Structure 1
């Protein structure tokens, strides 16, 4: 959605690139602190995480604010 590389996500989340690589490959689940940092970085960039609402959890890109 954002077109970020693993290195860009790692930098934005202030975690190591291997943490991102392992998470994407399903090798390991990040520690709670790293996961919170990844989520915060994505939310800061405009990603919205939607909860389970009968149709499944998901993500979307937040709409930019409209001008008056």
Structure 2
């Protein structure tokens, strides 16, 4: 996961950084730091997994390189 995906996923989910922190159990300063990262995030695996779970619960789907033409990305799951 990269910082760009976190920012895009939050935007798609309509979440603030504080809301993501509350939903994931990750501290607000950590969410801010990862959110501001350009390129791959350097957080602990369980921290990143908690963010992914919280965003996926809001309907976000993480796309790997090869699923989109511009590399990794995010999308809203079809209802």
Q: TM-score range by the shorter chain?
A: 0.7 to 0.9
Q: CA deviation at 1:42?
A: 0.7
Relative CO higher for 1 or 2, CA cutoff 8 Å, sep ≥ 6? 2
Q: How big is the alpha-carbon RMSD for the aligned residues of Structure 1 and Structure 2? A: 1.8
Aligned residue in 2 for 1:61: 76
Aligned residue in 2 for 1:23: 34
- The answer to whether structure 1 residue 46 and structure 2 residue 59 are counterparts is yes
Larger radius of gyration: 1
So what's the TM-score if we normalise by structure 2?
0.71
CA distance in 1, matches of 2:27, 2:64: 27
CA distance in 1, matches of 2:60, 2:53: 9
So what's the TM-score if we normalise by structure 1?
0.81
Q: Where in structure 1 do 4 or more consecutive aligned residues deviate above 4 Å?
A: none
Moved more, 6-15 or 50-59: 50-59
